[in-house]
Every structure is written in structure tokens, then in C-alpha cells.
Structure 1
Amino acid sequence: MHSIDDIHRASAAWVWFPRDSEQEKRHLQLVRYPARFGGGVRGSQVDSTADAAAVLDHAIERTRSWGETQLTFWTNASDRPDLEDELRRRGAEHIDTVAVLARPIEVSPIEVSPIDVSPIEVSPIEVPSAVTAEVVRNLDQVREVDSVNVPVWKQDPLDEEGLRTELAELTAELTSGRGARVLGRLDGKPVSTGGCTIVDGFVRLWGAATLEGARGRGAYRAVLAERLRIGAELGATTALVKGRIATSAPILARAGFAHYGDERGYRLAV
């Protein structure tokens, strides 16, 4: 497994650029989200010689220049300078906290090609028999993933072109060995999903979502176990995830993940 310093660095380097987003990295990383994901600007990864007030002023100015009215910032222990006190001073709302969690992956000596999803031994996670998990490979599965994501994340559904673009991206990730998307079913119905990406020996676990009526019945665990297996297959030695304190973090702790600090989200109307 990677060292604690490696885990902290990997957590700090993790940022998502949605398709059709815009981004700028000066003083900090800013990403303008497309309307499908609610718009607004996300900030993170502060690395500046300016003081906290100046960095935040820059983020606000850039958010306004993009025509957006909402800035969401996620803290990290590696931020220089730390913006948290300045955000609070300006009335930013604390909207969420995620725990940075990691655990080793036990890799099987079996060698397989990236697109082959053959069994690989990892630490077992108990999954009820009514729940299954599968790698997303076709358009129908992408449509089912969207049927979970839309109500959970309160985002707009993909149109047919968007579904096909999503499938092309997922297929390219799987074929190249960079990652995969998993779909979980309860009694055969799609209820949960999550993705994984391989970066520097880590498997990043992201985008986990479970329909409200299916929660607490093992679907999240099934999707988690499948992503760990895929991570092992694709050569990762450490699983890294940012789990919400109120939902997934307790499940992840029971699945053998250790806690390496928290990141807090703040929202500021600009």
C-alpha cells in the first residue's frame, strides 16, 4: 500500500473535469461546471504566494466573469494558503464534509488484459445474494446508470447523443485500462452505480450513487467490491475514496478503509 504522504498527495491532486466544463488554474484550481450538473464553479488545490483574501477575491472575480453566481470550494490539508477562515468570514455556508479513506488491495498473480473482467482475489466484502454488480459495456447499461444518477445527483438526464458519448468514453477507459463504470442491481433492477479510475497505482473510487429506496440493502457494497476487484485487475495497489460523513464513510470504514483526514465543502453566493 502507498504511504500516508502518498495518500495525502493523491487526495490533493484529485479533481474532476466534467465533459463540456471550463477550467483555470491560477492561485487555485477552478472548474466551471456545465448546466447539466447545476452549473456554478468548483474551487480546490490552492497553491499561491498571495494571502487568503486575495486568492478568494480572484476566485470570486473569475466566477463572475464566467457568468456564474455560485462558488463551491473544497478544503484540503495541502492548501497554501488555507482559505477556510476567510470563507467563513465572508459568510460561506458549510455544505458537506467528506472523509479521505484508503485501503490496500490484495492483487492476484493472475494476469489479464484490461478489458477482461476475470475473478481476482481481494479482501471480501459481504454482499446479499439479491444484489449483483456488473461492468458497464453497452448503451442500455449507460441508460440505466443515468436513471440512477439523475434522481440521486439531481442532474439533467442525458439525451441520446449524450448517452452515446458517455458510452464511447467509458469504453475507451475500459479498453485502455484507465478505469470503468459499475452498475449495481437489486433483484435485477438498476439501483446503484459508481466509477473507478487508475492513477499512479491508486484506484480512485468516485460517483457512487444509490436510489433512496434501495439504500441499506447491499447495493453500494456490491458496487464497491466490484470496483476494488477491477482496481486489482488493472494494477492498483491502494484504493482511495472520499466518502460523505453522513452516508458512505461508515460503510467504507466497515469495509477496511482507514481514515486519513477530512475535506469540507463551502458554498459562497457571489
Structure 2
Amino acid sequence: MTRWTPDAVRAAAAEWVWVPPGAPEVDTDEYHLVGYPESFEHPTQVARCRSARPADGLVGEVAGIARGWGRTTLGWWVGDGTTPAGLGEALARRGAEVVETVDVLAFDLAGGLPDAVRRPAPAGVDVRLVDDAAALRAANDVSVQVWDALVPEDDDAWLAAELADLGRPIRERGGFSVLATVDGVPAATGGCTLADDVARLWGAATVPALRGRGVYTAVLLHRMAVALEHGATLALVKGRVGTSAPILRGVGFTAYGQEHLYRQPLGPLGPGAPATV
């Protein structure tokens, strides 16, 4: 019998927080605030919030910390299990708006891979692990095109470090990435982090000119297959409702709720913020 009850899936999703090495963070019993690089689309985020305090006081406290880091905006992820109640309304009073909505989606791998795996890949589509210099550069080029990711300042140093990491077993390094090509042209990439037996799927990106060719699905299924080989029993992903979520549902993923990203402008004080914040 699977251990992945709806509550267990939601708990696994709540634990999914990525903190880059050296990034500022405040991780308390109530909330987890992370300062990502300024180049990120949403560089300062509250990834988790479970508090019994009044929302206005909590929002003011976190905003003060973010201002202390020199940040001008603050993102709050608000989902079905977020507390206190009324957090979204408190953020809206300070000028925050919902800028992104994702479905929390999961596939129980205890019964094997989805039926879609048994269908042949689209013509000309090939997916492989990122495990050498050529694949690393190609996958990075895709990310640069889609996510406006930064080109490494020192390409030789970046490549050497990445190749050294790839020399370790997948379980030891905690994950992997894949690269898809269409007729030999780099088309898509996607990553997977293995957290115990949970495969966290992230960063899927397809270059605009090659969308609609089934490449996203091919990248998804390949990551699921590799994760299953390495002991994963659950595939977990947060899919944007207007883009990837419908594809994921079509493959067989089940939705376990939604998360909304509120972006709060900070400025000197932020709209509606009390002078003491």
C-alpha cells in the first residue's frame, strides 16, 4: 500500500524549499524567508508560512527583514495550508498582487510509470541525461533563452565545477538534469532533485521555436523514469496553471491544491505599511 495520502503529498510539497548556497534566509517555526539572487524574477520569497499571529503584524515583520536586505519587493506563497487566515487580504492592503498561480501536482510511482511512457517519443525527439560538457552547455543555453538565466562569467571554471559534480553518482549529488533535442537541435531541459524518495521536478524549459512538438512531455517522462530507477516513490511538481499544469494532468498527475504568489512592493515603507515597520 502506498504511503502517499493527500496529506502526505501536501506535507512533501510544503517541505520543498530551495536555498542557494550563501543566500540570506530566515527559517523559523512560523515562516521561511529566502533572499535569492537579484537576477531572479522574484528574488525575495516567503516559501512557507504557518503562524497563529495576526496577519498584519507578521507581514510587517517579514517586510522589515526584507528591507534590511535592501530588497524592494517581497513574494509570499499562499496556499491551502497557509496560516494565518487572511494573509492574502493583509498583503493586498499593502499593495500586493497575485502574479503567479501554480497547481501542486504529484504522481505516485509505487505503481510504476504513467501509461504515456509506453508511447513512442515524437519523431525526431531524443532525451538524455546531462552528463558531459556538450550537454551541459546545451542545457544552459536553453535556460538562458527561456528563463533569462545568467551566462557564467568564467565559463571554464563553471564547466569544471559542473563536470566534477557530474562525476559523482546521482544519489550522492542529490539529483540530475536532462536535455532534449529535436532533430539534433537543443530544445528543452529540466531538473530533478531527489529528497529521500520524493522526486522534485523543476526548471522545465522549452525554446519557443520548438514548442508544440511534445518535448516538454518527453523531458517530464524521462526524469520520472530516472527518478524511479533511483528509488523515488513520488514525483512532485508545481505547475503553472496556464502552461504546464494541463500537460501534467494529461499524463496522469493529480492536483493537491494551489499556491498563489503575492508580490508586495516594499519601497521605503510599502503601500499601507505603518511607520513603525
Instruction: Give, as a single letter, the amino acid of the residue that structure 1 aligns with 2:138.
Output: E
Looking at structure 1, the residues matched to 52 and 237 of structure 2 have their Cα atoms a distance apart, in angstroms, of 29
C-alpha contact (below 8 Å) 1:43/1:74 kept by paired residues: yes
- The equivalent residue for 1:244 is 240
Task: Choose 238-247 or 158-167, whichever is displaced more.
Answer: 158-167
Looking at structure 2, the residues matched to 31 and 175 of structure 1 have their Cα atoms a distance apart, in angstroms, of 26
Looking at structure 1, the residues matched to 83 and 17 of structure 2 have their Cα atoms a distance apart, in angstroms, of 17
| RMSD (CA atoms) | 2.0
How far apart are 1:143 and its partner, in Å? 1.4
- 1:138–1:36 distance in 2 versus 1, CA, 3 Å: farther
- Match for residue 25 of structure 2 among 1, 23, 26: 23
Question: Structure 1 stretches of 5 or more lacking a match?
Answer: 109-120
TM-score, with structure 2 as normaliser: 0.86
Looking at structure 2, the residues matched to 170 and 45 of structure 1 have their Cα atoms a distance apart, in angstroms, of 31
- The equivalent residue for 2:253 is 257
C-alpha contact (below 8 Å) 1:52/1:81 kept by paired residues: yes
- The equivalent residue for 2:116 is 124
- The equivalent residue for 1:231 is 227
Task: Choose 156-165 or 146-155, whichever is displaced more.
Answer: 156-165
How far apart are 1:77 and its partner, in Å? 2.2
Question: Structure 2 stretches of 5 or more lacking a match?
Answer: 267-277
- Match for residue 210 of structure 1 among 206, 210, 233: 206
- 1:166–1:88 distance in 2 versus 1, CA, 3 Å: farther
Q: How many residues align?
A: 258
Looking at structure 1, the residues matched to 202 and 181 of structure 2 have their Cα atoms a distance apart, in angstroms, of 18
**1:100 paired to 2:94:** no
- The equivalent residue for 1:37 is 40
- The equivalent residue for 1:13 is 15
Residue pairs, 1:1-270, within 5 angstroms = 1=2, 2-26=4-28, 27-38=30-41, 40-82=43-85, 83-105=87-109, 123-125=115-117, 126=119, 127-159=121-153, 160=155, 161-172=157-168, 174=170, 176=172, 178-270=174-266
Q: What's the CA shift string for 1:167-208, capped at 9, x where partnerless?
A: 444554615273211111111111111111222422111111
Looking at structure 2, the residues matched to 106 and 12 of structure 1 have their Cα atoms a distance apart, in angstroms, of 21
C-alpha contact (below 8 Å) 1:37/1:156 kept by paired residues: no
TM-score, with structure 1 as normaliser: 0.88
C-alpha contact (below 8 Å) 2:114/2:251 kept by paired residues: no
